[in-house]
Amino acid sequence: MDVEIKGIRKAYARKKVLTDISFSMEAGSCAAILGSNGSGKSTLLSILAGVRKADGGSFFYRGNDLLRCPGQIPKALGYVPQGDPLLEELNAWDNLRMWYDRKTLQRELAEGALKLLGIDGFLKTPVRRMSGGMKKRLSIGCAVVSRPGILLLDEPSAALDPVCKENIRSYLEVYREEGGIVLMVTHDAQDLELCDMCYILRDGTLQPWEYGGDFHKLAEKLRETPEKCI
Amino acid sequence: MRQTTAYFLAQLKRAIRLLPGQVMADLLVCVCAGALACLLISQGAAAAKGSRYRIGMVGDLSASYLGYGMAAVQEMDDSRFMIELVPMSEQEAEAAFWRGELYAVMRVPEGLLESIVYGENDRLITYTATQGQQGLGTMVMGEITDLASTLVTCSQSAIYAMQRTLADQGRGEEIGRETDKLNLALINLVLSRGDFGEVEVLGYGDGLSLELYYFCGMILLFLLLSGLLNSALFVHGNGVFSCFLKARGVGAFRQILGEYPAYLMLVTMGLFILCPPLGFGLARGLLGIPEWEGMGAAPFLSFLPVLIPVAVMLAAMQFFLFEAAEGIVNGILLQLLSGIGMGYLSGCFYPSAFFPEKMRALGEILPSGAAARFMQAGALGRIPAELWAAVFGWTGVFLVLTILVRKSRMTGWL
């Protein structure tokens, strides 16, 4: 297995959010994490991305425990949070230049991930004038600068129109074909169709779940896990 | 390090994009503040020229020498430029007092003349405004009212005592001549009382003239409130971006390292926009600063480097306040309240020497107090080491606090 996550725990003061998160993924796979609001989905992604510290557990990627070697995280994975991590006053080029050197950026725009994401079409547009889809594509573009093996996406399709969703989905398919591992938090039916595996986060643990294309069944399942405030 | 530099350059680009708006805001503030200052100064001058404190005189005003004492105060004494004694009935005085037309009312009790004739030294009863209105003006007026009361009473006492003594000694024919002589002596005493002692004005804030003190205060207030003008840099700031930076290996320390210089640049630019009109005013002698009289803009130019450490410290403070506040609206409110509050306590509005001791001590401890003392010392060309330490100490404290708050926000503790 390329990714092996074992026993990740996290508590805020006395409130236990994650009690035992364990699962594994192999290269080219895609998994979704579902759960009610406040169940700890975003917390789990931020722990894996190295933003927050876990109280315990391990996150092995190709033999290295990334939780013990956080310095390797930026190279190993790309993290796209729920909001758009962009500087509103700057245009797409300036935002990308924070992460890419000029040469790499030009190459990626010509034939790499940024080309696939269609960012070359709005390079000079200031972020504040971009649509939600453009912002999301640009956010992904910023996250994949190091050509990471794992891509963590927090609600990638939230509030996007079908065309934008399709753009992102196409990119993710290519990313997977190249051996990338995608782990996303989502409740979007189209996103779920892309995934090989779904997990429901409930009472701090992940439970495997077969989606099977029935959105009503998903809603029923989520109804069993009441909303919580962290 | 490459990413920190890239992040700093991106923040610098943001600041430069925001600069035209900031320049407009700074200019607008300068113009408004200048117009307001001119208006206040001209109004203050006109008021000082044309108005006097009116004190109502009520009660038994029939005695001729009481009238004489009042006339002496009104016509000959220095206080005539400040106070006006107005004889009136009790009802008129009460109505005028509550209408705010009188500053105070002095009541001359019945039988005052007899008590003076018989050597009893009754004082005039003085009614002034309520305790709630106590201030520097009230205190000064209290002293002036007391002086007028004493002058009127004492001059009467002396004249009646002299007349009675002469009558007792059977020298009635001398009373008129001696009264005139005593009146003249009293007048001389009243008029020359300014020569009894010398008042030495030590100055404000380490020996500065009032003009230079307020000059420093005005710049400090501008710097304190520059957080409001530069808030645009924080409008789109969000925790998501910080988390993304952290995931890309740029931690809280490196984030602040990239953001703070850009903010400092905006604050410094605002300061340098303020400088040309100030320099022009100084060069033309419009600001009337005695210490820099006739020296043109040269002292101001040598004063400018003093402002840089102050800007560095206050920018760090504002940066921390924006980081600590939840949301931009709270941040702006916090900037406004802290700017005005600290400006007041550190003597930007009134010289801090007038404040109670505890308030003054508090004002000096605050970062704004350190900034004020630093600027005042810099204006006189001698900044002691402890002020350098205070300014850079506060800068360090604010930057460390900002890093800690950013870290806490990212890890979910805040």
3-class secondary-structure state, position B245 = helix
pLDDT greater than 60 at residue B134: no
**Closest approach of chain A CAs to the CA of B233, in angstroms?**
9
CA-closest candidate to residue A76, choices A141, A147, A140, A11: A147
* Mean pLDDT in residue range B207-217: 81
pLDDT greater than 90 at residue A95: yes
Per-residue pLDDT reduced to its tens digit, A48-72? 999 999 999 999 998 889 999 888 8
B1 Cβ under 8 Å from any chain A Cβ: no
pLDDT of residue B414: 53
Residue with tokens 């998501």: B240
- For chains A and B, count residue pairs whose Cβ atoms are closer than 8 Å: 79
Residues of chain A with Cβ-Cβ distance to B230 below 8 Å are none
* Mean pLDDT in residue range B362-390: 90
Q: How many alpha carbons fall within 13 Å on the CB side of residue A21?
A: 29
Residues of chain B with Cβ-Cβ distance to A139 below 8 Å are 244
* Mean pLDDT in residue range B348-377: 86
Euclidean distance between CA atoms B41 and B34, whole angstroms: 10
Per-residue pLDDT reduced to its tens digit, A113-147? 898 888 988 999 999 899 888 999 999 999 998 88
Least confident of A128-137, B20-29, B109-118: B109-118
Mutate to test the interface with B, among A18, A48, A51 (most CBs of B within 10 A): A51
Residues of chain A with Cβ-Cβ distance to B236 below 8 Å are 87-89, 128
Sign of the dihedral through C-alpha B30, B35, B38, B43: negative
Euclidean distance between CA atoms B35 and B37, whole angstroms: 5
Q: Inspect the interface and report whether the beta carbons of A81 and B243 lie closer than 8 Å.
A: yes
Mutate to test the interface with B, among A98, A127, A135, A138 (most CBs of B within 10 A): A98
Task: Kindly give the interhelix angle for A162-177 and A132-143, rounded to the nearest 10 degrees.
Answer: 20
User: Quick check: A41 and A193 in contact, CB under 8 A?
Assistant: no
Q: Quote the Cα angle for A20-A24-A28, to 5°.
A: 145
Higher pLDDT, B146 or A96: A96
Q: What whole-number percentage of chain A has pLDDT above 90?
A: 39
pLDDT of residue A79: 93
Euclidean distance between CA atoms A35 and A40, whole angstroms: 8
| CA B405 remoteness from chain centre | 35
pLDDT of residue B118: 60
pLDDT of residue A230: 46
Q: What whole-number percentage of chain B has pLDDT above 90?
A: 16
pLDDT greater than 90 at residue B308: yes
pLDDT of residue B131: 44
CA-closest candidate to residue A176, choices A31, A6, A9, A74: A31
Euclidean distance between CA atoms A126 and B221, whole angstroms: 35
Euclidean distance between CA atoms B385 and B202, whole angstroms: 24
B100 Cβ under 8 Å from any chain A Cβ: no
Query: Which residues are CB-contacts of B227 (< 8 A; sequence separation ≥ 6)?
Result: B318, B321, B322, B335, B338, B339
Residues of chain B with Cβ-Cβ distance to A101 below 8 Å are 2
Distances in Å between the Cα of B183 and the Cα atoms of A156, B120, B144 are: 98, 21, 21
pLDDT greater than 90 at residue B57: no
Chain A residue with the nearest C-alpha to that of B236: A88
Least confident of A178-182, B18-22, B152-156, B323-327: B152-156
Q: Inspect the interface and report whether the beta carbons of A98 and B6 lie closer than 8 Å.
A: yes
* pLDDT tier at B159, thresholds 50, 70, 90: confident
pLDDT greater than 50 at residue B130: no
Q: Inspect the interface and report whether the beta carbons of A74 and B248 lie closer than 8 Å.
A: yes
Least confident of A26-35, B129-138, B231-240, B252-261: B129-138
pLDDT greater than 70 at residue B77: no
Q: Quote the Cα angle for B344-B349-B353, to 5°.
A: 80
User: Quick check: A14 and A51 in contact, CB under 8 A?
Assistant: no
Predicted TM-score (pTM) of the model is 0.72
Per-residue pLDDT reduced to its tens digit, A146-170? 889 999 999 888 778 888 888 888 8
pLDDT of residue B164: 86
DSSP codes of every residue in B152-218: HHHHHHHHHHHHHHHHHTT-GGGHHHHHHHHHHHHHHHHHTGGGSS------BTTTB-HHHHHHHHH
User: Quick check: A226 and A36 in contact, CB under 8 A?
Assistant: yes
Chain B residue with the nearest C-alpha to that of A50: B247
Residues pairing with A56 in the sheet: A9
Q: Which of residues 240-259 of B touch A (CB under 8 A)?
A: 240-241, 243-249
pLDDT greater than 70 at residue B244: yes
3-class secondary-structure state, position A22 = strand
Q: What percentage of chain B's residues is helix, strand, coil (to nearest 5)?
A: 75, 5, 20
pLDDT greater than 80 at residue B81: no
* Mean pLDDT in residue range B238-242: 82
Query: Which residues are CB-contacts of B32 (< 8 A; sequence separation ≥ 6)?
Result: none
pLDDT of residue B357: 83
**Closest approach of chain A CAs to the CA of B404, in angstroms?**
14
User: Quick check: A192 and A211 in contact, CB under 8 A?
Assistant: yes
Higher pLDDT, B201 or A19: A19
Q: Which two tokens stand for residue B279?
A: 């320099």
Q: Inspect the interface and report whether the beta carbons of A90 and B10 lie closer than 8 Å.
A: yes
Per-residue pLDDT reduced to its tens digit, B168-185? 888 888 888 888 888 777
**Mean per-residue pLDDT of chain B:** 78
Chain A residue with the nearest C-alpha to that of B406: A51
User: Quick check: A92 and A99 in contact, CB under 8 A?
Assistant: no
Least confident of A30-34, B82-86, B382-386: B82-86
User: Quick check: B377 and B216 in contact, CB under 8 A?
Assistant: no
pLDDT of residue B147: 63
CB atoms within 10 A of CB B262: 21
* Mean pLDDT in residue range B346-361: 81
Q: What whole-number percentage of chain A has pLDDT above 70?
A: 93
pLDDT of residue B78: 61
CA-closest candidate to residue B210, choices B298, B139, B288: B288
Query: Which residues are CB-contacts of B90 (< 8 A; sequence separation ≥ 6)?
Result: B58, B59, B107
